[in-house]
């Protein structure tokens, strides 16, 4: 198998699956095709397009059935495969304004373009273009506000290189 083939398959899969996922009210974050022994694993990562909350199990089951149906129809993967339709985990990097909007209320660690690391509770996000952080396409007013030890720290999207949500076993409002 040539190195270009998996990439071509991913492109065909993305083109075939995106409309189905969109119709379910979700966003297709990623599609990967990987070998796992003798089988191929097709992994589709879906998420809510914006705002707080998560993808419900009923919604995930329904989109999984539709994705499976489309894969059978387009025959984009040669041979047998295992399909995994999943949502981004807590370890997904925060790289786009919508990722930050979905993390409001969570404890995050952000890295700025000058290498500074800031950890705090994400309390607010402003409008910003949905482009990767640091790409220079964000609006001047777009950014995030963190509560860092009781003080507000405002960081424009243009100054964010990325970030991660911190796993909290018991969030403060649950304590």
pLDDT given for residue 6 in this prediction: 57
In the predicted model, is pLDDT for residue 112 greater than 90?
A: yes
The architecture of the domain spanning 93-174 is Roll (2.30)
Q: Which of 136, 143, 87 is nearest to 118 (CA)?
A: 143
pLDDT given for residue 147 in this prediction: 96
Got the DSSP string for 44-78?
A: EEEE-SSSSS---HHHHHHHHHHHHHHHHHH--S-
Q: Secondary structure of 119-167 in the HEC alphabet?
A: EEEEEEECCCCCCCCCCCCCCCCCEEEEEECCEEEEEEHHHEEEEEECC
In the predicted model, is pLDDT for residue 140 greater than 80?
A: no
What does the pLDDT look like over 19-33, one tens digit per residue? 999 999 999 999 998
Nearest-angstrom CA–CA distance, 24 and 125: 26
Q: Where are the domains of the chain?
A: 4-86, 93-174
The answer, as to whether pTM is greater than 0.85, is: no
pLDDT given for residue 170 in this prediction: 72
Fold category of 4-86 in CATH: GMP Synthetase; Chain A, domain 3 (3.30.300)
In the predicted model, is pLDDT for residue 138 greater than 60?
A: no
Q: Could you check whether 4-86 and 93-174 share the same CATH topology? A: no
């Amino acid at each position: 198998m040539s190195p270009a083939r998996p990439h071509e398959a991913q492109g065909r899969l993305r083109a075939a699956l995106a409309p189905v996922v969109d119709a379910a009210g979700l966003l297709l974050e990623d599609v990967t095709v990987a070998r796992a022994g003798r089988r191929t694993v097709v992994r589709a990562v879906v998420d809510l397009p914006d705002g707080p909350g998560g993808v419900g199990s009923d919604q995930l089951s329904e989109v999984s059935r539709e994705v499976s149906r489309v894969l059978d129809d387009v025959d984009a993967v040669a041979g047998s495969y295992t399909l995994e339709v999943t949502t981004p985990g807590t370890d997904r990097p925060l790289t786009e304004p919508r990722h930050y909007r979905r993390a409001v209320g969570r404890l995050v660690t952000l890295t700025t373009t000058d290498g500074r690391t800031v950890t705090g509770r994400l309390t607010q996000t402003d409008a910003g273009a949905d482009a990767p952080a640091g790409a220079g396409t964000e609006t001047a007013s777009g950014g995030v506000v963190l509560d860092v030890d009781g003080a507000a720290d405002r960081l424009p999207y243009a100054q964010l290189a990325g970030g991660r949500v911190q796993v909290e076993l018991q969030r403060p409002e649950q304590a």
